[in-house]
Amino acid sequence: MSASPAKPDAIELYLTHLNAALLKVPRNEREDFLREIRVHIFEKLEQPGAQIPGVLQALGSPEELARQFLSECSLTKSAKSWSPWVLLRTSIRWALTGFQGFVMFMVAVVGYSFAAGFYLTAVLKPIYPSNVGFFVNSQGLVLANWPPPSGHELLGPYFIPVALIVGFLFIAGTSYILRLMMQSFAVARRKLA
Amino acid sequence: MAKPLIVEPQNGDRWEAQLRKGCLELAILASLARGRLYGLEILRVLDTETKLTLAEGTVYPILSRLKQEGLVASEWVEAEAGHPRKYYWLTPKGTVRARSMAHAWMDFAGNLTQAVGPLLNGKRKD
């Protein structure tokens, strides 16, 4: 980190306020942003006649800067996406930022895992027809087992399209819930900021 | 530093502030059409060429978003002397987007310039 040896208090105070207002932003993203602002301040101060108060004032207040960053940042963007990849990546980044982030992450993992599971059974059905299916027995519902599960297989040849449709519904449903959560999260954070 | 950029326009002129803000994204993309620039260089281009007077900090959150949208890419470059700098440049997607925004702007500005003509010439259509 480049900082002059004697760090003037006003600059550190500015950056501390900015950091505090951005605590909910994932650490990498926040540190990169703070580093950029810090370099901006010190580089401006190298210009002839530059004074700390003027440089900080020109930058805008830390609260205003944080508010702008939050309203521009990833959550708002991802909340408009339907791509499971974008939604999953965003929820991973937010997993450790608080309870709401963790719940979002769990919804993403569980929902997309179910979807992946159904797609996998659709692929395996033609290869292992007696092991994979929609079996109903004393344990309840079994989708796949080695050795082959006991009980009746209900769907037969219809298993593959049904599994693909259910897999798709899990993807769409999970994406829909994640988008709603991210939108409400983004609105709450904008109000907070 | 010659003059501090103005944070908020005086007399509550929200309309002009909103207009400037709305144009900032295009102005930033346009400034990057000339090559790799870091934040302060972008600000200098905006200040000298577009007179978009906003809080200086405003450009950094917008750059972050443009990066997330894949319109610009960035890289920290460590300098041997002086400060490390985060350079930005347009991605191919960003170039396409900047061009389409520029076309939209030209259409919009052309039409509106025509529409506001009577105001500037002092003519009235009664």
Output the DSSP codes for B60-86: HHHHHHHHHTTSEEEEEE--SSS--EE
B120-to-A111, A141, B16 alpha-carbon distances in Å: 60, 77, 17
Say yes or no for a CB contact (<8 Å) between B60 and A40. yes
User: What values do phi and psi take at A108, rounded to 5?
Assistant: -65, -45
- b/e B55-85 (16+ beta carbons within 10 angstroms → b): bbbbbbbbbbbbbbeebbebeeeeeeeebeb
Mean pLDDT, to the nearest integer, of B80-109?
A: 94
A174 min Cα distance to partner chain B (Å): 22
Say yes or no for a CB contact (<8 Å) between A39 and B85. yes
Average pLDDT, chain B: 85
Condensed to tens digits (0 to 9), the pLDDT of residues B48-93 reads: 887 776 788 989 999 998 998 889 999 999 987 888 999 999 999 9
CB-CB neighbours of B39 under 10 Å: 23
How far, in Å, CA of B62 to CA of B25, rounded? 7
How far, in Å, CA of A131 to CA of A113, rounded? 20
Among the listed residues B36, B83, B88, the one whose alpha carbon sits nearest the alpha carbon of residue B65: B88
Say yes or no for a CB contact (<8 Å) between B55 and A65. yes
3-state secondary structure labels for all residues of chain A:
CCCCCCCCHHHHHHHHHHHHHCCCCCHHHHHHHHHHHHHHHHHHHCCCCCCHHHHHHHHCCHHHHHHHHHHHCHHHHHCCCCCHHHHHHHHHHHCCCCHHHHHHHHHHHHHHHHHHHHHHHHHHCCCCCCCEEEEEECCEEEEECCCCCCCEECCHHHHHHHHHHHHHHHHHHHHHHHHHHHHHHHHHHHHHC
pLDDT by 10s per residue, chain A, length 193 = 444 444 568 999 999 999 999 987 878 889 999 999 999 999 999 999 999 999 999 999 999 999 889 878 756 666 677 888 888 888 887 787 778 888 999 999 999 999 999 999 999 999 999 899 989 888 888 888 888 888 888 888 899 999 999 999 999 999 999 988 887 776 666 555 4
Whether B66 and A74 have beta carbons less than 8 Å apart is answered as no
Task: Compare CB distances from A65 to B4, B57, B82 and report the shortest one's residue.
Answer: B57
Say yes or no for a CB contact (<8 Å) between A2 and B55. no
Name the amino acid, one letter, at A160. Answer: I
Task: Compare CB distances from B56 to A2, A39, A58 and report the shortest one's residue.
Answer: A58
Say yes or no for a CB contact (<8 Å) between B4 and A54. yes
How far, in Å, CA of B42 to CA of B27, rounded? 9
Question: What is the token pair recorded at A168?
Answer: 């798709």
ipTM of the complex: 0.80
Chain A residues closer than 8 Å to B22 by CB: none
CB contacts < 8 A (A, B): 79
In angstroms, how far is CA B29 from the centroid of its own chain? 7
Task: Compare CB distances from B1 to A47, A64, A73 and report the shortest one's residue.
Answer: A47
Place of tokens 């480049």: A2
Would you state the pLDDT for residue B102?
95
Mean pLDDT, to the nearest integer, of B92-110?
A: 95
How far, in Å, CA of B37 to CA of B55, rounded? 19
Say yes or no for a CB contact (<8 Å) between B60 and A65. yes
Q: Is B20 on the interface with A (CB under 8 A)?
A: no
Whether A132 and A143 have beta carbons less than 8 Å apart is answered as yes
Question: What is the token pair recorded at A167?
Answer: 């897999």
Residue A140 forms beta bridges with which residues?
A137
B 65-104: CB under 8 A from A: 65, 68-69, 82-86
Residue B28 pLDDT exceeds 90 = yes
Would you state the pLDDT for residue B74?
96
Q: Is B46 on the interface with A (CB under 8 A)?
A: no
Chain A residues closer than 8 Å to B68 by CB: 73-74, 77
Chain A residues with CB under 8 Å of a chain B CB are: 2, 29, 32-33, 35-37, 39-40, 42-44, 47, 49-51, 54-55, 57-60, 64-65, 68-69, 71-74, 77
